[in-house]
Every structure is written in C-alpha cells, then in structure tokens.
Structure 1
C-alpha cells in the first residue's frame, strides 16, 4: 500500500497573535473531567469565577457524543445522554453513517465474545476487595479478557480502547484492577449512580482562562507565593532529628538556597519527586524507595489550528485503529464565550483540533518511524496523516490540508529524532502490581507528606481527581500530627453500589477458602 503523501504543516511558535488578540490556545493535552470525579469538582466550586454561582465548576460543559473513529470503516458515534442535555443534531447522511457503524460493529464482534466480555465484567463487579487487590491487580487486562483468542474488533474496542487511548497503558500489561475499576465507575456514572455530573465534561474556555488563572488569583489573594522557574533539588533529611531539615532549591540564575519549614508537602509528579529523595530519606521510609518501581510513559498533546471548521462530531473521538493511539476533540464549538478568529491568533484561525498522542513507540503510516524517532515537524505531519486516515476514509473529506494553518506540540517533549528524546511531562501507567507500590500520603518521616496522582487513593488511576484526593489526605495527615482542631478535608471515595455488597461478601468467603469466583468460567 502506498504511503500517504506528506503535507507541509507549519509550526506556530509562541502561538503568534496580532491585532490585540490573545495567543492561540495551546496545552499539554485536552482536559477531561468525568462525572466519576467528586474531590476535584469540590475544589472547582471553591475557586471564584466572575458571574458563576459555583465558581470554576460552572465552566464545565458536557459534550453531546463521543465516537470510535475507524480507519476504512464508518465511525461509531455514541450519544451521551444526560437530563437537560441537548442531543447532537444529525443530518440524514450522518444518521445513515451512524446506523451503518453500529450494525457493522455489532456484527464484527461475535455474540459469544460479547457474552464472554459481559461475564468478565460481572465477575469483576461482584469480586470482593481482597480478590481485586491480590488477584485482579496481578492479572493483565488482556489475559483477563482472553483477548488473544478473540476477534480483531474485540481486541481493539474492548481490550485496547480504554487501556491505550485513555490510560496510556498497554492492554497486555495493564492491571485488571485498574482498568475494570475505571469501567465500573463509568458504568455507574452513565446510570446516574453516585455521579457529580455527566460522563464526559470539558471546560468551556481554554484551561488557563477557565481554571488556572482564576485559581492562581484566588491563592495569591490568600497569601500564597509562587516562585516560577525555581527547581527543588533535594528534600534534605536530617538523620539526627529524623525529619526533613530543609528543601534545597535552585533559583532561575542557578544559585542554591535552603528553605526551612515546620512541614513539607511534596506535590510533584513521581518522576520528578523521587529525584529529590536522597538515600537517607529513602532509608527512613521504605515506601519512598518502592516508588522507583512505578512506571511512566508518554501521553502528550499536539494542537492543529484550522482556518475552516471541520465537520467532526460534538465530542471526543477515539481513533482506535491509529498506530499512535490518537484521541481528539474540536474546541471552538465548546467555547461559546469566544469568537475564535476575533479573540485568538492572527484572525485566520477559526478552530483548534486538540489531539493526545498515547503511543510513542510504534511505527507510523507516513515515515515508518516511531514518534520518538521523528522530528517535531515529522510528528505533526504523521499525526495529521493518521487523523485523515481515521476521518477521511468513507467518501468524505473531513480534514482538509488547505485548512491547516499551524500546529503546536507540547514543549515538554525535547530531543525528538535523536537517540535520547526526553519528556518532562510523563504519565504514570498501571502495569500489574502498581497498586502495591503506591505510597501513602503520610510518610514515616514526621514532617513529610506526599501529594500527587501516584499516591494511594481510592481511584486507582493517574488523574487530576487522584492528585486532588491525595492532597486532601496529606492535609489531613498534617492536621492529625499537629493535633489541630481544624476541620478535616472531605475525601470522597468512588461510588459503591449497595446492591452488590452481598455478592461481594459471598465472594470474600470463596476467596478465603481458596475458591475461584462463582461466575468465573475461565
């Protein structure tokens, strides 16, 4: 098969603006705040935003649909109903295509495979906590689903779809506990059980405008001081006092300083945090050393700026056949308070297609190289080619080369096309056994606490929700150790369906007797 032609794609350094407009909005990756989150939404409600009764939380909007974009086949469009939710408007051709995709997908997964998947999901739903933590945590999702025996569509949709495109973890390695817990939470969310809101929510403005800038203003008003460009080099452990003696930091000019405090909260991604833990500190609390076993991978965003609105769907698209496991969303339609051309860039751009690249180690379709082996410009061209393969494949030209204005790739990725590419913004992934290496927020060091998406919390996933919950746990641990009478932070766990608890108790008995789950047909 002949490789697609390379299309010139221009990079938009600094997302250039003119005529008093804002720079084109760029980001590490699009925000996704599902209704299974509760702790993060509580924080969003506490951040004031002009004109919003519920602060930043009121800036959340719910896309009307999502899709599995297939290469060479009609895309499967899935409506996301919710009370008060206006469904997406479809043309007759779109209805025809949606029905074709539904019947094609239903027919491509044999009935016995569908029944098997449902059985496996029921097994997990009714498994006791002990079986989840000990057996399913050590069982790869691929093995749990017996995916190697199943059809291509079973593998791509049910095995790979969530693990690679959403969690950036390979289905062959991902912990069943992690993946199935997420599926369980989403299923209850779709049923309106224990949900903060719709299944899929995004922000109605660029992330900085809708959330980060108001948050910084609020915290600054409370007396928080931000030091931009400073780097924490070490949390220096005082072996005599058996506590952290200082944080060793480096200023933007390269000078080193020692910052002392009564207590220290280490709130960094795990790949950055563990660089600051020296041998003495690790010896003081072995759970810190176990964090070296936690694995990260690349999941990074790229934005394409368009001079024409592409007729895609009103929500997220999961390009499940793309070699680089792409997910994407058009943003302008979800930002009603903004006239994109009037407010951003040079006035020619009317929309932004924001794309997450989840697979960086498989060859692409344009150059035959992995994303890490490509230069930044080659990554942009390759992603654009894979998007066209997913969307321009059934008689429609959805993405036009002539409408492509420019692109922006996360600057945290560096050295692409060289033997040693780096990524400063990696994502914690969840191969089997990860759950047992996650640390607690309260450490054995009396004045050190951990906060981040790698800390052990109820949601076993690298998420903003997990980071938020861990920060609340860290604050509570600090208050407990100091004997403070202040109110503790509320930490809300994932929803547990009460009607399933009896079945879980039955499975607990079987587990302790060394018996398999009653529904487990192998």
Structure 2
C-alpha cells in the first residue's frame, strides 16, 4: 500500500525520535507554515543530512530524515557500552577525533546557529595550541608543513619561499631537496584555477613533487607528511589539485589569512555532548522528524522525477515514502547501490560514482590511568607505518573530570588515535592493520607510538586501562582480515568530473555528502556541510522559492597572487608551463 509522507504519523511512531521544545534566539526565526511542494525527505543522518535538514526547516520546508544506523555519522561519539559505573556515563569512543582547522567556514557557521546553554555550539570550539610532529627511534622531532607559528611574512613569492624554507628546514631532508619541494609548492600556489583542474587534477601528488627520485626523508616527511598525516590521502594516487589545495589552505591558515578562527580547533566535550545532541534537539524543536533504522533501497521514478523512496528496516520489511524533494545524504559506497537503472537513465552522469575510490581511516581510543600530556594539540607520528595521528582529550574538556564523569573512576585521560594507513606492515606483527585482529591493532598502534619516544615514553606499561576501536571495523576470522563499514572517500587522480554536483538532472533529486563537488574538494565534515548547502540552494532555485539562499564560502585566494595567476591563465591557454615551473 502506497503511503504518502505523513509527518503526524511519523512523529507519533516508535521509530521516530520525539520532538523537543522549539528554541528561539538562534537561526532564522520562527519557521513559517510549510506550503504545498515543500515536503522534503533527507536520506542519511550524518553531517550532510543534518545540515540539509537544518537549512530546509529554517526555510519553511517540512523535513523528515531517515537514518539506518547512528545519528551524526562518522562525526559522532560512540559510547563504550557497559563501561560506566556508579552513576558515571560510559567512556566516550569515536570513529576518529574531530579537527576544525581555521579555514573551515561552513561547519563553524552552522555550529553558531545551534543553541547550547546560554550560548551556541560554536562556543564549544577551543584552540589547540601546540601541534607536534614526532620522529621514530633516535631521530630529532620535526616541524612539518601545516601546523606551527605564524611566519609573519608578506604574501609574495620571495617572502613565501623564505618562510617555507625556514619552516621546513633542519629536519633531515637534504637542503637541495627542500628547495625543490618549496619550488613545487610555489608552482602550485601561483597556478590558475584552469591549470589546477586541467593539468594538476591529472597528476598524482607523488609525481608532482618528484618523490620517486628523492631521499627517504623527503618522501616520508614532505611528500607523505601532508597527504597521509593531515588529509589521510595516499600520495601516490591522490590528485595534486586536491592535495595542493589543502596544502595551500594550511599555508594561509598558519598565516591567519582568510580564517574563521584559530588555526587548529577541537571540541571541549565529547562530540555528541558538544554538538550532535544539541543539534538534533534544535532541529526537533523546529519540527524536523527523525526516523531511525531505515535505509534507502531504491527510488521510484515517473515523468522524469523521483516519486517515492523505498526504505527497508533491519528486518528487511520495506515501506514506501513519497515527497516533493529527495536529498541523498549517504556516503558514496551506500549511495551507489540506490542509483538503479531507472535513475541512471534520467542522469547517466551519476554512473561516475562507480569510479570513485574509498580507503580506510579509522580511530582507536586508549583510556589511560594517568595523564600523558605532551602538548595541547595534535600529534603526528611521522615514522609510524600506519600513519598515526593523535590527541589527548582531557586537557580540552574543562567542564569534565574524566574519572568523575565517565567509566569506573579509574580513567583520567583519553588518547584518541587515527590510523590512516591500513595497508602497510606494522613493526610488532609485520602485518597490515587490515590483517590484524582488534587486539593486535591495539597492541601494534601502541608499539608504533612508543617508538616515537618524545611521547611514547609517557606511555609506560600499565597506563592503559582499556581501549575502544570503532565498531565499524570487524574481524572476519575465516578470511583472516577485517571488514570496514565506514570507509572514507579518497580523491584519486582525474576523478573530479566523476563526482556529481549537488544538483542532478533529476529535478527533485539532490546529492550531498563528502563525495560531491565542493570548493574544499576533500572528504571532510566541511565538504559534507558545504555540499548540503548547495543541495538546499538547488531546491530553492528549482522551487522558485523566495527564501534566503544558504550562505556558502570559498577557500581563501590571496589578492597578492592575482597578477601571477592571471599571467598563468594566459600561459595555460597558450599551452605553456607555469612561470615558476622550471623543472
């Protein structure tokens, strides 16, 4: 039996999350009554889905969000079930720690429109003041491109060259190789947009910086230091356009140019407490209906449009939901199976999603019996085969005493570690993470951290109370390897045109998620948020709505390089190299 989307029924059903009280003072004021043609279904309750719901509900649409598993997606906290005793909450695990660089604009702007106590969720962003890049064995610790002091240099080619050479020098990279790397960065920074898309999109970062012909320190610290440790991409297959854009963003970030806030920000509470829960409370109060345990199976089409979404519960029972607008807000690997032949016939370009690649970047948390404070910021373990980055969280949670508020009273700090390379052999078991049991992963990560003695020496035997690995990673004993329910999109060479825009050729089907074309061009919370804003603006345009368009931001483009980029645009049109590309 066909069922028209009935919000009253959904709001009263056991599958829906109940509505909260409306919150005033933040956002766009009271929502006006929805008019015909304003029923919107959002399919996915992660960063993209919650952003789309936020922007739609504030513009008078009636919004229902369907999510098969957990609200908040990869950004959420994940309680370590059964660990809380004596009235304390369960220890907070997570897919990976949250990182909000200063060049993020979309996510912080959304956060400032979510009430939290007498302020907003945006107030829960705090500066991380001391990033560290640590070396293994007896190597001296490094400072690598991306996190560091303000170089206080004028934005000119010579000024930037001096700044980058000073910043990157003295870390075991031969001087002539360092000069070469900086010159390659300058080539990219002065390249016009047309060259970036037409030339550098088709070249891997590894080839662009000539890593294959250079020393191991060059490869490890410079070529891979940015890709694996800062943006979790593989330098041999990642697009130069994507990695270069991020490198550029980090350069201007440390200069304070175009930033939304501090260059490195984190949350002052577990993510759900600081952000996801208040967000959902706000959206419920505005009238958003949340339905859990329902995944999209397929779309029905007629007359060139989507007429209904067919959903399935965990038991396999299906239901059919009609609406005026359908916003896909799922990860790419989950969106692909829903784009069946009837949809692809309407928009053949969506077949490009099948060419996109995903990889693994998953976190593990160590709950510590003693503090292990080295720095109030992120740590990168440069020589770790598994490309580890980490953060100790207790120092940032000023309103929480971990031993008082979580677990059994013995845990005093939390070391949250991201594992970015699941394919390289480890130092303890000689196997990649994909082929290690959960226990072996926990032991291997500790061994790799302890090999970096500056921090590793703060982790003596017995300090670890327990650990938590993202439950999306599951050991398959029969296959002798892990599966992963939450992979991450990786921007490989020449795939920009394979990725969809938010607006599709199906007028009432919009795409959102970190795989959609966005200005930040990376699988991040920021990209997912931006994509949802574009999706909502497409709905507003298609429906000829008079509502205010959703604000979007562009990555910072320094005016000091405008003349050089204009000259490069002409050179590129003439088929010539960038002016600084003398290699």
TM-score (norm 2): 0.81
**2:271 alignment partner in structure 1:** 207
Structure 1 residue 123, shift from structure 2 partner? 0.8
Equivalence map 1:406-421=2 (5 Å): 406-419=466-479, 421=482
Count of residues in Structure 1 that have an aligned counterpart in Structure 2: 487
Structure 1 residue aligned with 2:281, among 208, 217, 239? 217
Pairs within 5 Å for 1:309-388: 309-388=371-450
CA displacement 1:201-244 (0-9 Å, x = unmatched): 10010000000000010011111111122211112233xx1111
1:488 Cα shift?
Answer: 0.4
Counterpart among 123, 128, 134 of residue 192 in structure 2? 128
**Could you say which residue in structure 2 is the equivalent of 1:444?**
505
Q: Given the superposition, is the C-alpha separation of residues 306 and 118 from structure 1 closer, same or farther in structure 2, using an over 3 Å criterion?
A: same
Aligned equivalent of 1:108: 172
| Structure 2 CA distance for partners of 1:235 and 1:464, relative to 1, 3 Å | same
The equivalent position to 1:70 in structure 2, one of 130, 135, 142, is 135
What's the secondary structure of 2:523's corresponding residue?
Answer: coil
SS at 2:467's partner residue?
A: strand
> CA contact under 8 A between 2:201 and 2:241: conserved in structure 1?
yes
Q: Deviation of residue 319 (structure 1)?
A: 0.9
- CA–CA separation in structure 2 for the residues paired with 1:513 and 1:439: 29
Within 1, Cα distance between the matches of 2:416 and 2:291?
29
Unaligned 5+ segments in structure 1 are 1-11, 83-101
Question: Aligned partners of 2:406 and 2:498: how far apart in 1?
Answer: 44
Task: Assess, with a 3 A threshold, how the Cα gap between structure 1 residues 47 and 520 changes in structure 2: closer, same or farther.
Answer: same
Deviation at 1:416, TM superposition (A): 4.6
Contact 2:436 2:482 in 1 (8 A): no
Pair 1:182 & 2:182 matched: no
Confirm whether residue 155 of structure 1 aligns to residue 222 of structure 2.
no
Distance 1:167 1:496 in 2: 20
| Cα distance change on mapping 1:107 and 1:350 into 2, 3 Å | closer
1:277 aligns with 2:329: no
Give per-residue Cα distances to partners, 1:172-203, cap 9 Å, x unaligned: 11111101111111111211111101111100
Aligned to 2:116: 49
Q: Is the 8 A contact 2:425 2:433 kept in 1?
A: yes
Whether contact under 8 Å (2:134, 2:380) holds in the other structure is yes
Change (3 A) 1:103 1:196: closer
Task: Please state how far the C-alpha of 1:274 moved relative to its aligned partner.
Answer: 1.2
Once the two structures are TM-superposed, the CA of residue 139 in structure 1 deviates from its matched residue by 0.8
| Cα distance, 1:58–1:160 mapped onto 2, change above 3 Å | same
Q: Deviations over 1:385-442 (max 9, x none)?
A: 111112368xx72111211100000011123555263211111101111222110100
1:442-490 residue CA offsets vs partner (Å, 9 max, x unmatched):
0000110011111111111111111111111111100111111111001
State the shift of 1:40 in Å.
Answer: 1.1
Instruction: Confirm or deny: 8 A CA contact 2:488 2:523 kept in the other structure.
Output: yes
The whole-number CA distance in structure 1 between the counterparts of 2:582 and 2:556 is 27
5+ long unaligned stretches in structure 2: 1-78, 151-165
Once the two structures are superposed, residues 231-264 of structure 1 have per-residue CA deviations (whole angstroms, 9 ceiling, x without a partner) of 11112233xx111121111124431000110110
Shift of the 506–409 alpha-carbon distance from structure 1 to 2, 3 Å rule, reads same
Off by >6 Å, runs of 4+ in structure 1 = 102-105
- Higher strand share goes to which structure? 2
Give the SS at the match of 2:107: helix
Match of 2:232 among 162, 168, 179: 168
Q: Which residue of 2 aligns with 1:40?
A: 107
Q: Decide whether the 8 Å contact of 1:413 with 1:423 is kept in 2.
A: yes
CA contact (8 A) 1:391 1:399 kept: no
* Map of 1:141 onto structure 2: 205
Deviation at 1:313, TM superposition (A): 1.8
2: CA distance, partners of 1:197 / 1:336? 20
The CA distance in 2 between the partners of 1:358 and 1:501, in whole Å, is 35
> Are the counterparts in 2 of residues 236 and 278 from structure 1 also a CA contact under 8 Å?
no
CA distance in 2, matches of 1:201, 1:434: 30
Matched-pair contact (CA < 8 Å) for 1:372–1:416: no
Deviation at 1:38, TM superposition (A): 0.9
- 495, 520, 524: which one pairs with 1:463? 524
Alignment of 1:240-279 (within 5 A): 241-279=303-341
Do the aligned residues in 2 keep the contact of 1:21 with 1:345 (CA within 8 Å)? yes
Could you tell me how far apart the structure 1 residues matched to 2:171 and 2:559 are? 35
Paired residue for 1:405?
465
| 1:19 aligns with one of 86, 89, 93 | 86
CA contact (8 A) 1:40 1:465 kept: yes
